[in-house]
Amino acid sequence: MGFTLYKEDPYLRENSRPLLRAPSFDPTTTPGPMLLRLLPCLLFGVSNTLAIIAPKVFIFTMFDLEANAWFGIPEFNVLEQNITVPGFSPLYPDAHCTSDGVVCLLTTGQAEINAAATISALVYSRTFNLTSTYFLVAGIAGINPKVTTIGSVTFARYAVQVALQYEIDAREIPAQFPTGYFPQGSTAPGQMPGSWDGTEHRAFLKGASAPSIVLCDTATSDVYWSGNLLGEAFENTTTIFTNGSATYCTTQQEDSATLGVLMRATMFHLVDFSRIIIMRSASDFDRPYPGQNGVANLLGDAPGINPSLLNLHLAGVKVIQGIVNEWDNKYAHGVQADNYIGDVFGSLGGEPDFGPGSIFKGSRITSWLYL
Ligand SMILES: *[C@@H]1O[C@H](CO)[C@@H](O)[C@H](O)[C@H]1NC(C)=O
Ligand SMILES: *[C@@H]1O[C@H](CO)[C@@H](O)[C@H](O)[C@H]1NC(C)=O
Ligand SMILES: *[C@@H]1O[C@H](CO)[C@@H](O)[C@H](O)[C@H]1NC(C)=O
Ligand SMILES: *[C@@H]1O[C@H](CO)[C@@H](O)[C@H](O)[C@H]1NC(C)=O
């Protein structure tokens, strides 16, 4: 697929301003009045008569600027239907869909708890049939300058929950430790974890349906870090947790949570774990340039924000059009991943190419939820 990504320039910054809207807070759609609105239905036994929407693509954004990148675009209008979903964020209570239901979008709210809660609410809502849906996580991210630069669009193969570790404050780090972070169940940085929680990382679809701009991997943490040492520490964590398979390049606060929920929903055949695309565009560096310090990197100018938001739409719309236009002859049936997909426990079957190996002896836990 051929298209050109935006780079930062003053013209673009000027012209991208209308995309940046303040979060709107509409009191009539916040979850507050939900109970009152449901009450008459409960009293009179009126069932939910909304047709079940079966989107071909569901776009996951994490905050308002990422969502706004998809509003007012020429290709499709996801504001033709607003569907309030119980369990969504108070700031973003609605899923948004085109009138034909082919493309939908939601906003999780930022960081791991919001992502897990919102995506759980979606997959168990019964408002949507998501069994054939492709999920496009479309967000901005910090970037490792060793891999690429701001404005780039990346597609991840692994999402690593890097901060799920022990931590010693910087002022109390033993002299022989290069960082205060070390894996759970280990005794020092650089060791394999002695115990796993299952959400540390996932491997999934290997760029099969995505334009290959940069294929590199993503690190999840609620903590927004900046600096050479933390950058290098989490680079090391990514290497250790994935047995050297993943390339640490983007940093964000949600993707392992989103994937953890989609993995569990896949066990009940509510979604398909091989239909997930993690697209993260680079808005800022995870560490300073030579001569700058970590705080200045974090709090200084962010010239990458606007191009990264514009590029989410530019690259993402190609992915969406590719899926929708070739639906019948290709994507409806799904893409067979040639790599392991799933969690460190092997819950979806197969042998993980990272961690200590499947705890289910390579077979899949089969569970059916009868709807
Ligand atoms: C959906 O909500 C947006 C605001 O979030 C609004 O602009 C749009 O008109 C709404 N669509 C419908 C069909 O009500
Ligand atoms: C969901 O969609 C699939 C096809 O994509 C269909 O086979 C299935 O019956 C649908 N499930 C429900 C509950 O409508
Ligand atoms: C990263 O790993 C390398 C190789 O093991 C080590 O030399 C370095 O000190 C580590 N860096 C940090 C910040 O942990
Ligand atoms: C990953 O590395 C650890 C430690 O070296 C090893 O025990 C484990 O078998 C490796 N896993 C895979 C899938 O190669």
| Low-confidence winner among 70-84, 119-133, 347-361 (lowest mean pLDDT) | 347-361
Q: pLDDT value at position 371? A: 45
**Is the pLDDT at 34 greater than 80, yes or no?**
no
Q: Can you tell me the mean pLDDT for 175-186?
A: 97
List ligand 4's pocket residues with C-beta within 6 A. 192, 243, 352-357
Q: Which residues have C-beta within 8 Å of that of residue 144, sequence separation ≥ 6?
A: 231, 235, 248, 249, 250, 251, 285, 286, 287
Phi/psi of residue 283, each to 5°?
-105, -20
Residue 220: per-residue pLDDT: 98
Greater model confidence, 21 or 60? 60
Within 13 A of 202's CA, how many CA atoms are on the CB side?
A: 28
Binding-site residues, ligand 3, Cβ < 6 A: 178-179, 189-190, 229, 232-233, 236
Amino acid of residue 64: D
- Three-state DSSP at 366 gives coil
Atom of ligand 3 nearest to the CA of 235: 1
Give the mean pLDDT of the chain.
86
Site to probe by mutation for ligand 3, drawn from 236, 237, 287 as the one with most ligand atoms within 8 Å of Cβ, is 236
Whether the predicted pLDDT of 24 surpasses 80? no
Q: What is the pLDDT of residues 57-67, one digit of tens each?
A: 999 999 999 99
pLDDT bucket at 192, cuts 50 / 70 / 90 = very high
The response to whether residue 188 sits with its C-beta less than 6 Å from ligand 2 reads no
Q: Is residue 36 predicted with pLDDT exceeding 50?
A: no
- Distance CA(232)–CA(144), nearest Å, equals 9
Distance CA 56, CA 214 (A): 24
Is pLDDT above 50 for 6?
yes
Q: Are 97 and 104 in contact (CB under 8 A)?
A: yes
Report the predicted TM-score, pTM, of the whole model to 2 decimal places. 0.87
Of 75, 79, 72, 143, nearest to 107 by C-alpha is: 79
User: What's the rounded Cα separation, in Å, for the pair 350 and 344?
Assistant: 11
Give the whole-angstrom CA distance, residue 128 versus residue 273. Answer: 16
* Ligand nearest to C-alpha 186: 4
Q: List, chain by chain if needed, residues with CB within 6 Å of any ligand 1 atom.
A: 79-80, 82
The residue among 255 and 363 whose pLDDT is bigger is 255
Per-residue pLDDT at 19 exceeds 70 = no
Assess whether the C-beta atom of 54 lies below 6 angstroms from ligand 2. Answer: yes
